[in-house]
């Protein structure tokens, strides 16, 4: 690749610098970026002054390099999109009438880098992979910065591929027999408890979005690398593969936002998974675009002084592979 590239943490993550909008439409550059994405654990960032002015159409086209962009918006978030595009706005921006134009959740700001590691007492940061509650969870996500505060608002990433490789064989065997029960209703109720502006599902929406189950250990279909999986705010229980759960338990998890104690299997691992050997702190600049692979990474949001500064991010979801394999 002709552009300057920088590793983000060892073999995990790559920054490609000096990128232009023209580069994003170049077939050779696209192929090189895609191969880097797969080979570096599913995390690639592009940065360049020119990217501040990227259009929604250009962002969709760039996202399609890494997978097929989902064309619908997640339930209860339809009014937070870029009009005419499958792009969800995230941040604290509002329209002229003071109505929020973006999805926003209040989360703590990092005080220092020690806060990156998961804290069992505060359960922060909220490390997760995306949308495991869906029947076919998305393969990845694309995040583009439009407006960044002067401090805070970083996005954290962790390498589940390398973290899994370093587990002992006994723990790998234990985790390989388990599944996560994941529910959108549980996810939204849990977040709403600490961020009241966050939407919760109506009874009709809950019925239309039943829980899903995913394995805790997942083999990537293209790279064949194995990683830990299933960690999401929607994860309400960890059960042996194939074991049934009761409607009564689901009602408690969904309507009260209370997770089963079995989720401790994952929570107990989180301080290890989010240690400095496996993590990246991405500090946003306007124009930045980051693409991550949900099958080999987890990520977490951090807060900023939202009452003083604005933040606007554009997010797209990748719901299928293109079927290519890294060279």
Helix (H) / strand (E) element for 247: namely: helix 247-256
What DSSP letter does each residue of 74-123 carry, written as one string? Answer: PTT-GGGBPTTSS-EEEES-B-TTS-B-SB----PPPSSGGGGS-BTTTT
What is d(CA 227, CA 241) in angstroms, rounded to the nearest whole number? 17
Token reading at 22: 């023209």
Instruction: List the catalytic residue out of 47, 89, 117, 130.
Output: 130
What is the distance between the alpha carbons of residues 1 and 16, in angstroms, rounded to a whole number? 9
Q: Known catalytic residue: 315? A: yes
| List 47, 117, 128, 295, catalytic entry | 128
Q: Is 187 a catalytic residue?
A: no
Q: Are 212 and 137 in contact (CB under 8 A)?
A: yes
The CA distance from 48 to 26, in Å, is 15
Q: Which residue among 89, 161, 206, 315 is the active-site one?
A: 315
DSSP, collapsed to helix, strand or coil, labels residue 321 as coil
The residues annotated with a catalytic role in the active site are 128, 130, 299, 315
């Amino acid at each position: 690749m002709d552009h300057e590239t920088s590793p983000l943490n060892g073999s995990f993550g790559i920054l490609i610098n000096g990128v232009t909008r023209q580069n994003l439409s170049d077939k050779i550059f696209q192929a090189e970026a895609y191969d880097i994405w797969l080979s570096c654990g599913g995390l690639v960032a592009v940065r360049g002054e020119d990217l501040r002015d990227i259009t929604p159409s250009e962002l969709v086209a760039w996202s399609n390099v890494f997978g097929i962009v989902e064309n619908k918006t997640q339930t209860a978030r339809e009014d937070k999109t870029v009009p005419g595009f499958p792009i969800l706005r995230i941040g604290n921006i509002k329209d002229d009438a003071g109505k929020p134009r973006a999805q926003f959740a209040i989360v703590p700001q990092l005080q220092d880098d020690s806060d990156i590691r998961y804290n069992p007492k505060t359960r922060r940061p909220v490390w997760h992979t995306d949308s495991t509650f869906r029947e076919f969870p998305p393969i990845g996500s694309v995040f583009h910065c439009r407006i960044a505060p002067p401090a805070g608002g970083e996005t954290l990433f962790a390498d589940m591929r390398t973290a899994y490789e370093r587990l002992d064989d006994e723990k790998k065997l234990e985790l390989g027999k388990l599944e996560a029960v994941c529910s959108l209703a549980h996810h939204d109720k849990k977040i709403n408890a600490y961020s009241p502006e966050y939407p919760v599902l109506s009874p009709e929406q809950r019925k239309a979005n039943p829980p899903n189950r995913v394995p805790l250990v997942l083999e990537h279909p293209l790279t064949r690398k194995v990683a830990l999986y299933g960690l999401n705010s929607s994860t309400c229980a960890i059960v042996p593969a194939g074991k049934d759960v009761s409607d009564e338990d689901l009602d408690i998890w969904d309507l009260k936002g209370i997770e089963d104690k079995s989720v401790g299997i994952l929570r107990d691992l989180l301080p290890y998974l989010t240690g400095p050997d496996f993590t990246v702190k991405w500090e946003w600049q306007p124009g930045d675009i980051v693409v991550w692979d949900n099958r080999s990474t987890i990520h977490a949001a951090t807060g900023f002084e939202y009452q003083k500064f604005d933040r606007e991010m554009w997010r797209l979801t990748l719901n299928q592979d293109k079927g290519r394999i890294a060279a």
